[in-house]
Structure 1
Amino acid sequence: MLRDEEALLASLRVALERAEMTNCGGLMVEMFEVDRVDRIADILYGVATGGGLIGYAQIAKRVATRPDFLSAPLDQVSSRAADRDEPLWSALVVAKVTGRPNSGFHRMARRVRPEYQELDDETLWERERNRCYAAAGGRTSGIAAD
Structure 2
Amino acid sequence: MLNRAVLVGRLTADPILRYTQGGTAVGTFTLAIDRRMTNQNGEKETDFIPVVVWGKTAEASSKYLAKGRQAAVDGRIQVRSYENNEGQRVRVTEVVAEQVQFLGGNNGQQNSNGQAGKPPANDNPFASDGKPIDISDDDLPF
TM-score by length of 1: 0.24
Please identify which structure carries the higher helix content.
Answer: 1
Q: Rg: which structure is higher? A: 1
Please identify which structure carries the higher strand content.
Answer: 2
